[in-house]
Amino acid sequence: MLGRLVGLEQEYAVRARLPSSGAARPDHRDVFVDLIGAVGRRVTARPAGGLWGATRERWFTQTGGSIYYESLVAAPDGGLVEAATPECRGPSEALRYGRAWDRLLADAAREVGRARGGSIVLRKNGRDGHGHVYGPQENYETVLASGLSLLAWRAGLVVLLPLAAVAGVAHIAANLVAIALATGLALVAVGALAPLDLARVALGWPRAFAPGVAIGRSVERFVRLETLWFAVLFGPLMVCLSLLLRAFAWRPYRRGATGFLVTRMIVSGVGTVEPDGSWALSEKAGAIRRELRWAFGSGDRGLIETGHLLKALHGTVMLRPRDLASLWWPRQRLQIGIGDANLCEVAEYLKLATTALVLDLVEAGVLDDAPRPADPVEAARDVSRDGLHAQVRLVGGRTLTAIGIQRFYLARAEAWVASHPAPSLEAHALVRRWGEVLDLLENDPARLVGRLDHVTKRALLDAAGDDLDVVARKAIDLRYHELDVGWLAHLDLSGLVEHLIDDDDVARAIVEPPSDTPAALRGAVVRGLAPDEPATIDWSRARVGGRVIPFEPRPRGG
């Protein structure tokens, strides 16, 4: 009970005000490099390495967690800082390690900002002021399929292998051709234009040509093209895998837990000021497009994310056979895409713990009659917009309110926890707290200030005045989420925020890995490496001096 592996990922947005950049936005890649330096002064951190030994965008720390620079091809300098907890044993541990990343990164950002004569702040949220969505994901250890479903899943994978191999070989060939073309074009540009440019200089005219810019543009075109043909080549493969997932993957969880997942935002939503000035419970709910993702990319977000499985299939031809082999394992991480970036510990804990408990209930077979939304995506949006009493259409034609659905799950959890042969103190405390929060949401929500983010943010906005325009309200909304200096941090300093873990626990989680998860060995490897010792590290294994050290393949944060 509550003992499964849990991991958290969080993408932090960067707000950097640096004298060296003037009014322009600093290059976030430079900020990330400096942040890594500051993190490395506090804990041992090692680059993940990679096939060519040059991948320095992902790092692992001595706790077994990871930090990564997440950017898009179209805007490589405007990326996010993504931190992933190590694999944690249960929701309480995941909460601690999530807080540890918040603390470590906030301190590192402050140090870097001061060193550069300005300020750098990380924002822990899920939507910017322009409507772009990013933010957190949760991972839970689950059974992908069993029995005949597992057999069918594996048979489907076998059928997909030739398609994956063809797509992968075509991808590599296309890349090689493109690199040759891009290099040729750059050389032609340099060869043809440089003499003309020298002649301009000789005549006293201003320089009109910069070889570096020409080469840079060629590289940029290549990267854009690469993204395009990746989508073209792998698109059919992704669709096929998605069909396979829909048919066989996580069926009991999807049947039993979807109603919970689309309504839990009444507890763990962070609240957001929409562009039209209205209020919604969740930053991410409006960006969900599917129950399960069809393809890579931010335009196809799912309630349940499957990108990691698609990437594993891509491993067929990327010289990562272990990734491919991992698709055969019955236990896989279930990645929840619909969830907000909580700053209130109570909200974050309830999000993680009630979800873990509901997954326990599914596995115990007591949620076969759970209310199933007829359209989960529509339900998520309705609940985000209308709140507790949003009417959710269910399979079979009935409707139930969001809080009614939460109460259904709470009642099942109470009964199951009470009758369980191996009682769990944490589970008893959890269902009690869950029930109290639902009662307060209905009867006295203001008493949840400092405990639930959407209530706290809403109270702050209301206290700031209802005459503020939408831009001002959005600014307060954004600033609520800044680590260390945001409005929630101000409220915390005033004693308004309830804490479930103390500073010592967080300090330990910055330096010590969880003791009985794969992160323990990964953390030991990171700590044990000599500073210049060549190594590659990823979530499933390390390669040190030709020796492969496997970590137990389990759900993780990254």
Contact between 129 and other proteins per CB under 8 A: yes
Contact between 29 and other proteins per CB under 8 A: no
Which listed residue (387, 518, 555, 558) binds other proteins by CB under 8 A?
A: 387
Q: Which residues of 53-79 are buried (b: 16+ CB within 10 A; e: fewer)?
A: eeeebbbbbbbbbbbbbbbeeeeeeeb
Q: Which is nearer to other proteins, 256 or 315 (CB)?
A: 315
Which listed residue (419, 494, 531, 532) binds other proteins by CB under 8 A?
A: 494
Which listed residue (224, 398, 432, 447) binds other proteins by CB under 8 A?
A: 447
Write down the least CB distance from residue 271 to other proteins, Å: 8
Q: Which is nearer to other proteins, 416 or 480 (CB)?
A: 480
- List binders of other proteins among 164-203 (CB under 8 A): none
Which listed residue (19, 54, 130, 546) binds other proteins by CB under 8 A?
A: 130
Q: Which is nearer to other proteins, 291 or 305 (CB)?
A: 305
Quote the DSSP letter at residue 486: S
DSSP string, 222-269: HHHHHHHHHHHHHHHHHHHHHHHHHHHTTHHHHHHHHHHHTTTHHHH-
Which listed residue (411, 464, 507, 548) binds other proteins by CB under 8 A?
A: 464
Instruction: At 78, list the tokens.
Output: 């405007």
Say which residues have a Cβ less than 8 Å from residue 152's Cβ, sequence separation at least 6: 145, 247, 248
Stretch that binds other proteins, among 129-137, 143-151, 162-170, 347-355 (CB under 8 A): 129-137
Long-range contacts of 536-544, Cβ-Cβ distance < 8 Å, separation of 24 or more:
536/48, 536/49, 536/50, 536/53, 537/46, 537/48, 537/49, 537/60, 538/48, 539/66, 540/322, 540/323, 540/326, 541/322, 543/49
Which listed residue (1, 2, 281, 394) binds other proteins by CB under 8 A?
A: 281
Contact 347, 452 (CB under 8 A): yes
Contact 273, 477 (CB under 8 A): yes
Say which residues have a Cβ less than 8 Å from residue 335's Cβ, sequence separation at least 6: 137, 138, 139, 304, 305, 306, 307, 308
Residue window 56-75: x/- pattern of binding to other proteins, with contact defined by CB under 8 A: --------------x-x-xx
Contact between 439 and other proteins per CB under 8 A: yes
Which listed residue (41, 389, 398, 508) binds other proteins by CB under 8 A?
A: 389
Q: Which is nearer to other proteins, 120 or 510 (CB)?
A: 120
Contact between 298 and other proteins per CB under 8 A: yes
Write down the least CB distance from residue 206 to other proteins, Å: 32
Q: Quick one: angle between helices 402-419 and 345-364, nearest 10?
A: 70
Q: Which residues of 137-161 are buried (b: 16+ CB within 10 A; e: fewer)?
A: bbbbbbbbbeeebbeebbebbeebe
Contact between 454 and other proteins per CB under 8 A: yes
Nearest-angstrom CA–CA distance, 107 and 46:
19
Q: Which is nearer to other proteins, 114 or 389 (CB)?
A: 389
Write down the least CB distance from residue 274 to other proteins, Å: 11
Q: Which residues bind other proteins (CB under 8 A)?
A: 11, 13, 15, 25, 70, 72, 74-75, 78, 80, 82, 123, 128-130, 132-135, 266, 278-279, 281, 298, 307, 386-390, 439-447, 449-451, 454-455, 458-460, 462-466, 468-469, 471-476, 478-479, 487, 490-491, 494-496, 498
